[in-house]
Structure 1
Amino acid sequence: MTRRVLITAGANGIGLVMAQAFADAGDRVWVTDVDAAAVAAVPSGIRATCCDASDEAAMITLFAAIADDWGGLDVLCANAGIKGPTAGIEDMDLAQWHACLAVNLDGAMIAAKHAARMMKPARSGVMIFTSSTSGLYGTPFRAPYVAAKWGVIGLMKTVAMELGPHGIRANAICPGSVNGPRIDRVIEAEAAAKGMTPDAVRQGYASGTAMKQLTDPEDVAAMALFLASDGAKMVSGQALAVDGMTYNVDP
């Protein structure tokens, strides 16, 4: 069966790899992103809209378009997120704190809210939230991001409880450090905050996993495909790490 899939922040990084994986599986895919240039460059066959996931008015317009064009939604990947500031708690800027939570947590809630309104009448659907291993363990110098990603897991579990009786499943993927431009920026900021070299921080992240390597975005996409499949029909309310088994969260 061809699924109708919405992925927020789907024109870059993990989201784009997810989008391509669902498209390759024969699904209809619609992505959003705030990066207009990336939206314009999304591969043909994937629909794309420039949209801020934390802007509810814009998301309402998006869901109305999905309802008009597709008549429903089968899979939501609430993937929008930003890294937020890197600083000790004593130096944390409140405006930056709020901005980080707005995208990472408010954006997930807004997407789930409007997806639920489409999925409940159909009595079926899958919601996949992108959290992080930071939402399982915490990460020094990343308080807003960590708080948001813990919040995403709590949101997911509550959504799973509320919507399970309506045939809707919800789970969260918790990637570890994923290869790509975002982790490069995180490593550079953390290196500056700790007085280390970026190479030393990167090696610390890798050595803190059992697999001794960073995760690839394709690994995260593979988990999303599984969670959206009938093979996961009894998997709900779970926060699933895709991280090579992180055991040292302070590289």
Structure 2
Amino acid sequence: MAEAGFGLAGARVLVTAGAGGIGRAMAEGFAGAGARVWVTDIAGAALAGCPADWRRSRVDAGAEAEVAALFAEIEAGWGGLDVLCANAGTAGPTAPVEAVMLADWRACMAVNLEGAFLAAKHAAPMMKAAGQGAMLLTSSTAGLFGYPNRAPYAAAKWGVIGLMKTLAMELGPFGIRVNALCPGAVEGPRMEGVLAREAAAKGTTPEAIHAGYAAGTSMRSFVTAADIAAMAVFLASPGGRLVSGQAIAVDGHTENPDPKV
């Protein structure tokens, strides 16, 4: 990677689920640092709305044949990859464990955990060949704490951290750093859906759940997608060259992940 600005000028960056939300903010952050950006998503309309100078591919993060084809295309088009942001995720069901359907559990795992595994699996050979690289796996504060009524999501995000710790040990000798980002409650449409479902489950309002989440942080605030993107850019930059194997919370310091409402 070039060492100008954040040291990311010309860097080749892949962001999965990069057409919206946290992924879109990550892609914008890397592009702003001078990197070349490739985004994937399953939402064709959102992909079409991305900047024309970004490379774009419609890919199901949990489908290995599609992921393998993507990385073959990256190899052919870019000749390698400097930064992987394995960001694809889904909220999964909000329900007590006895009401969670196995199909919903598996669907949540397929995107959140298997998606990160597949991206890392296919990025690793390119990065090993180059003797350098940075992988950022999107976990959650749900990977650091238990979350009532969110068993599939929390289990998947804990799994992402276990995967990251293992990859950091396995790939470090090849010059590859691996870290996990753990967003807290992030403002935006996806969190609004979570708040609505939790409110329905608890017989209260989304506004009350929102206030409970914010009160459970020492900063008394939700975070934004831009906050997550800023940390991603730093971790991938030369400034983060010896940061690896870390689950880094960007959450305003979550003290109480279960809103008491």
2:205 matched to which residue of 1?
197
- Equivalent position of 2:142 in the other structure: 134
Question: What is the rounded CA distance, in whole Å, between the counterparts of 2:24 and 2:91 in structure 1?
Answer: 17
Letter aligned with residue 177 of structure 1: A
The offset of 1:45, in angstroms, is 1.6
Confirm whether residue 66 of structure 1 aligns to residue 74 of structure 2: yes
The equivalent of 2:7 in structure 1 is: none
**Identity, % of aligned pairs?**
62
1:174 aligned partner: 182
Runs of 5+ consecutive residues of structure 1 not aligned to the other structure: none
Match of 2:222 in 1: 214
Say which of 40, 43, 48 aligns to 1:35. Answer: 43
Please state how far the C-alpha of 1:63 moved relative to its aligned partner: 0.4
User: Aligned-residue CA RMSD in angstroms?
Assistant: 0.6
Q: Give the AA of the match of 1:19.
A: A
- Cα deviation, 1:100-125, whole Å, max 9, x if unaligned, reads 00000000000000000111011100
Partner of 1:84: 92
How far is the alpha carbon of 1:194 from its aligned partner? 1.0
**1:162 Cα deviation (Å)?**
0.2
- The Cα offsets for residues 34-78 of structure 1, whole Å up to 9 and x where unpaired, read as 111101111222111111000110011110110001000000000
**Matched letter for residue 235 of structure 2:** L
Aligned residues, how many? 251
How far has the Cα of 1:217 moved from its partner? 0.6
Q: Under a length normalisation based on structure 2, what TM-score does the superposition of the two structures give?
A: 0.95
The CA distance in 2 between the partners of 1:236 and 1:137, in whole Å, is 21
Query: In the aligned structure 1, how far is the partner of 2:19 from the partner of 2:120?
Result: 19
Matched, 1:239 2:231: no
SS state of the match for residue 121, structure 1? helix
After TM superposition, give the deviation of residue 90 of structure 1 in Å. Answer: 1.4
Partner of 2:6: none
Q: Deviations over 1:80-133 (max 9, x none)?
A: 000000000111111000000000000000000000011101110000000000
Aligned with 1:5 (options 9, 13, 19): 13
Aligned to 2:5: none
1:55 matched to 2:66? The reply is no
Q: Please, which of 179, 193, 196 is the counterpart of residue 185 of structure 1?
A: 193
Q: Which amino acid aligns with 1:236?
A: S
User: Distance between the aligned counterparts of 2:258 and 2:71, measured in 1?
Assistant: 40
Secondary structure (helix, strand or coil) at the match of 1:169 reads: strand
Shift of 1:17: 0.5
Letter in 1 for 2:159: G
Q: Please report the TM-score for the alignment, with normalisation by the length of structure 1.
A: 0.99
